[in-house]
Structure 1
């Protein structure tokens, strides 16, 4: 598979200490993208499974199985297992514009959706990242997961998940200053 050069605008940026922001213009409508954020079965196809109640204050579990996101999955790094689970709690639930939830015991993630004609601007803001290594892993992770989402809603293929994640982690290593 040929590896496409990632457009500059697709990269996450550090907006404050421990905070990364990534944006992507996706095919609409906004309600479809909202469903990919909130419906556990649709979210499983690009990020992580897990049923959530549609209200602030409710707890839920995210279940990552990154090997299932692309076929083939690519070459998984040795330090990753088959599955990862994390408990979270919804902080804000404002359909179809804003979803915010806790990231385990530290940090939070906000998803904002904004209509742009027949497209939707997705903005992901991840706050409370503990250190540079996690910033690199999380920046590359969001980038690759959003690549998979973009491919799903656009009806196309993307590169194998783990190969893309490892490539992007190297790019974030070079892009984010020490």
Structure 2
């Protein structure tokens, strides 16, 4: 007899930025830029590398799962009972870049975390846009 796997939900944010993928990639992978829109971190773009995101409210333990420069970045996101995966997908779109972020793995009893992620990622994408606008 197998134990049923509970269904999970995902938070998905998509936005097209008027910048090339390389410019967004830097903001997604360089710790000094990540600190401006996401959180402080000791991130390094290496598959299997553990890193920590630190914010005013606490810390997130992460492990890099996948990296395809200027295309895909995926890492685990473990904090406050949530064990999820965050994946950024970049695709050229005209003269800009379409960025898709998915945080997958919210269990049915994690409604507060799910709603918090919807709110938080929308704010972080606004901050990301501001960071990318001022970098070159």
State the TM-score, normalizing by the size of structure 2: 0.83
Equivalence for 1:143: 122
The answer to whether the 8 A contact 1:39-1:51 is kept is: no
Equivalence for 1:38: 29
The alpha carbon displacement at 1:27 in A equals 2.3
CA distance, structure 1, for counterparts of residue 18 and residue 35 of structure 2: 19
CA distance, structure 1, for counterparts of residue 11 and residue 62 of structure 2: 19
Q: Which has the higher contact order (CA 8 A, sep 6+)?
A: 2
The answer to whether the 8 A contact 1:29-1:120 is kept is: yes
Equivalence for 1:68: none
Q: How many residues align?
A: 123
Within 5 Å, which residues of 2 pair with 1:21-170? 21-64=12-55, 82-104=56-78, 106-130=83-107, 131-155=110-134
CA distance, structure 2, for counterparts of residue 111 and residue 102 of structure 1: 12
Q: Which runs of 5 or more structure 2 residues have no equivalent in the other structure? A: 1-6
Q: Which runs of 5 or more structure 1 residues have no equivalent in the other structure? A: 1-15, 65-81, 156-178
CA distance, structure 2, for counterparts of residue 62 and residue 27 of structure 1: 27
Structure (1/2) with the larger strand percentage: 2
CA distance, structure 1, for counterparts of residue 113 and residue 20 of structure 2: 33
RMSD: 1.6
